[in-house]
Amino acid sequence: MLWGKLLKNYLLYTSMKRIATGIKNLDNLLEGGFEEKGLFLVMGRTGTCKSTFGMQFLVEGAKNGERGLYVSFEENPDSVKRTALRFGWDLDRLGVVVKKIAPYDYYRAVESMIKEIMFERPERVVIDSITNLMIYRSRPEWKGRYGVIELYTPTLADIRMSLFGLLERLRALGATYLLIAEEGVEGLDVVSHVSSLIADGIIRLGVEKIAGNEIRTLQVVKMRRTKHPLERMVLLLKDNGLDVVKAEDYFQ
Ligand SMILES: Nc1ncnc2c1ncn2[C@@H]1O[C@H](COP(=O)(O)OP(=O)(O)OP(=O)(O)O)[C@@H](O)[C@H]1O
Ligand SMILES: [Mg+2]
């Protein structure tokens, strides 16, 4: 009985496979990376390299033969691919699928995204961004009537209810998710707050003035079942993508 329980716990422990994020030093600090099939949030204000993080995450998977899907609610696939090429990532050649979904009707956008995930069966999915998906929404009572153009800002209750539901549906599809959330958009920080509660891990990107210089930063805010540093680290944007170094090493 006891042995059975111990064996079960051991198997559970060893079955939590980690997958690399592709940001080498970050993976070293996260016991190897994200837990497979988890749901992770990358948040930050505009221009903090959230999309680059997402692309690098998919490229890392593709290099290991994992299928990747990048769902964009704002940028066209061509623009995403051109950005990736700047870092030497040829998304088409790597087999990373980039889809643009118009967010102008929340319900329709969610269904298109779920359909896409079920069709592509990706191991890794990036959603850029969950905030954008929430911004535009026809009134709930208009569900199914796509001709209506008028939009409104969702209430806190709307966001809570739809996010919990959406993230549960995503989890059930079985991929590893990287959700991008924008901070500092008036009235919509609640999107990152609500997602934070559900996410298995949170990474916050930023730009800060340190010793008179603007420095890109990365902080692991939460990572369930993982021993990780809490301090803000320096995020480096190199020719071949992102990397992190501890601040004490950077300012030496
Ligand atoms: N090839 C490059 N070389 C140097 N810097 C770059 C390069 N590509 C992007 N950047 C820098 O990275 C910044 C943002 O990158 P990214 O698009 O990943 O950020 P983001 O957080 O997704 O921004 P947004 O809020 O617009 O979605 C750019 O504004 C630019 O400063
Ligand atoms: Mg972006």
Would you say residue 28 lies in a domain?
no
Tell me what pLDDT residue 5 has.
65
Hey, which bits of 77-123 come out as E strands?
Answer: 96-100
Domain CATH for 158:
3.40.50.300
- From the CA of 83, give the closest atom in ligand 1: 8
Which residue's alpha carbon is at the smallest distance from atom 19 of ligand 1? 49
Q: Is 131 in the pocket of ligand 1 (CB under 6 A)?
A: no
**Which ligand has the minimum distance to the alpha carbon of residue 89?**
1
* C-beta 79 within 6 A of ligand 1: no
65, exposed or middle or buried, with CB in 10 Å at 0-12, 13-18, 19+? exposed
Residue 46 CB less than 6 A away from ligand 1? yes
Ligand 1 pocket residue status of 76, Cβ below 6 Å:
no
| DSSP SS3 for 186 | coil
Q: 128 in helix, strand or coil?
A: strand
In a domain, residue 19? The reply is no
Residue 141 resides in a domain = yes
Give the mean pLDDT of the chain. Answer: 87
C-alpha of residue 64 to centroid of ligand 1, in Å: 25
Number of domains in the chain: 1
Q: How confident is the model over 65-103, as pLDDT tens digits?
A: 999 999 999 899 999 999 999 999 999 999 999 999 987
**Residue 16 and residue 33: Cα distance in Å, rounded?**
11
Residue 148: which pLDDT band, with cuts at 50, 70 and 90? very low
48 lines ligand 1 (CB under 6 A): yes
CA distance 241 to 238: 5
pTM attached to this predicted model: 0.90
The residue type at 210:
I
Spacing, Cα 51 to ligand 1 middle (Å)? 8
In this structure, which residue's CA is closest to atom 31 in ligand 1? 47
DSSP state of 190: H
Task: Note whether residue 185 is domain-resident.
Answer: yes
Q: For ligand 1, atom 30, which residue shows the shortest CA distance?
A: 47
In-domain check, residue 194: yes
Per-residue pLDDT at 72: 96
Q: Over the stretch 150-209, which tens digit does the pLDDT of each residue have?
A: 556 677 788 888 888 899 999 999 999 999 999 987 777 777 777 788 899 999 999 998
Taking the CA atoms of residue 174, residue 58, residue 103 and residue 203 in that order, the dihedral angle to the nearest 10 degrees is: 90
The answer as to whether 31 is a domain residue is no
Per DSSP, which regions of 183-252 are E strands? 201-210, 213-223, 233-238, 241-245
Q: Which domain holds residue 179?
A: 36-205
Q: Tell me how far apart the alpha carbons of residues 201 and 1 are, in angstroms, rounded to a whole number.
A: 34
Kindly indicate the confidence band of residue 149, based on its pLDDT and cuts at 50, 70 and 90: very low
Confidence of residue 134 (pLDDT cuts 50, 70, 90): confident
- Residue 109 covered by a domain: yes
Whether residue 136 is predicted with pLDDT greater than 70 in this model: the reply is no
From CA 97, how far away is CA 56, in angstroms rounded? 13
